[in-house]
Structure 1
Amino acid sequence: MKAVSLLALLPFVAAAPSEAIPARALTVPSAVPSKVKVLGVSLLGSGCPAGSADVQIDATKTLLEVTFSEYIIQTGPGTKAADWRKNCKLTLNLEFDEGFQFSTLATDMSGFAQIPSGARGLCTNTFDFTGIQGQSYYSLSLPGAREGPFTLKANPDIVSWSPCGGTAAIMNMNTQCNISPTQQQALIAVDRISGKITVNVSLDWRKC
């Protein structure tokens, strides 16, 4: 497997909102660093081989969109073990002002599933911070028979923050989809036209 790294040095200048918002009601950052740089985004896995994924970060640095063109899981005649399960690990490396932490608020993993009766698809999304013990785990079962779109929504615990006491942190997000048993013809992808899966990651900030 090859990793594809995207280097973006993006200065971010923003003022913190004048009013604090309760943590559980956050829809926009209640406090943000005055300066932040995205040092790097890397993707590694069978669902995101080099050149097959695109990463976009919005102007506020709170929304990350990753689109995949080869994150397709298939079973049935003519398929092999590598087709039955795909994964992609996204590593986000941020540098920011001292005294801040960040945490994922929500992700949406959207796709298309065509699963016959007797078969089952499963998609998972796991989050962790490098250097911090513990993970947030989310899953969506896709039992057959079904044909249509699906969305795996993850809302990581707001109390799970990156380490304090530094100016950088690394967040890891591991996604995976598989289908079983493998004898019947089945498919998981974003849709039958584009064949893409999109993951949106919202980041929230707070002072240490």
Structure 2
Amino acid sequence: MKYVALFALAARLAAAAPAADSVVNDPLVVPLATSPSSVRIHGISLLGSGCPAGTADVQIDETKTLMEVTFSEYIIQTGPDTKAADWRKNCKLTINLAFDEGFQFATLGTDMKGFAQIPSGAKGLCSNVFSFTGVSGQSSYSLNLPGPREGPFDLKADPDAVSWSPCGGTTSILNLNTQCNISPTQKQALIAVDTISGKLTVNVSISWRKCR
């Protein structure tokens, strides 16, 4: 009787589990085997007050599922003796990625790391917006840093919508627009690079799928 009961339980669990095909066909659930064997950064261009020439870098990890974007001179300040150019910083990165034919990718989350010194009554706000050249739509991520806080921060955000790179080629141009600001501007506050690494870092989770 014990074995009959166990068999019946196993049958019920199997019936409740999603079919394998439904998992594979979910555009947000991509088996690791469908990742391209090679992903390369062909080139990067920078524009903005938060990334003077030579102060930003982009790397792809070995799994091709994590992109690390770092800034070494991304500093936002408010308070006495600061000016409007200090209160908000932005950077637009244009990243040319090359990969195996027959794939497309999307950004599914960000993790932003840096240092903040924000008093009570003040608030920092950072946003990261991704889009693909030639494709309508974008993926947006917002991160709030309310005061009071002082020290390193590590904030994660999910997109409000997901946009995929176009199919039909072996390259895609990913545009990242990142910006941070602090308000109100009369209070002394700071968002800056991490005091240990010397960088403000945006880690980007990437998902791949085969074009259909």
TM-score normalised per structure 2? 0.77
Q: How large is the Cα RMSD of the aligned pairs?
A: 2.5
- 2:51 corresponds in structure 1 to 48
Question: Partners of 1:44 and 1:64 in 2: how far apart?
Answer: 19
Q: How does 1:97-108 map to 2 (within 5 A)?
A: 97-108=100-111
Q: 1:73: Cα distance to partner?
A: 0.6
Q: CA separation of 1:36/1:52 partners in 2, compared to 1, >3 Å: closer, same or farther?
A: closer
Q: Which moved more, 1:69-78 or 1:135-144?
A: 135-144
Unaligned runs of 5+ in 1: 1-18
Aligned with 1:151 (options 149, 154, 162): 154
Q: Do structure 1's residue 77 and structure 2's residue 98 form an aligned pair?
A: no
Q: CA separation of 1:113/1:36 partners in 2, compared to 1, >3 Å: closer, same or farther?
A: closer
Q: CA separation of 1:34/1:146 partners in 2, compared to 1, >3 Å: closer, same or farther?
A: closer
SS in 2 for 1:82: helix
Unaligned runs of 5+ in 2: 1-22
SS in 2 for 1:105: strand
Q: 1:159: Cα distance to partner?
A: 5.2
Q: CA separation of 1:97/1:53 partners in 2, compared to 1, >3 Å: closer, same or farther?
A: closer
Q: Do structure 1's residue 123 and structure 2's residue 126 form an aligned pair?
A: yes
CA contact (8 A) 2:107 2:162 kept: no
Q: 1:193: Cα distance to partner?
A: 4.8
Q: CA separation of 1:157/1:205 partners in 2, compared to 1, >3 Å: closer, same or farther?
A: farther
CA contact (8 A) 1:72 1:195 kept: no
- 2:183 corresponds in structure 1 to 180
SS in 2 for 1:83: helix
Q: 1:22-71: CA deviations, max 9, x gaps?
A: 65455x73412344442112332211111222333323433222222211
Aligned with 1:64 (options 64, 67, 70): 67
SS in 2 for 1:132: coil
SS in 1 for 2:129: strand
TM-score normalised per structure 1? 0.78
- 1:191 corresponds in structure 2 to 194
Q: Which has more radius of gyration?
A: 2
SS in 1 for 2:85: helix
Identity, % of aligned positions: 75
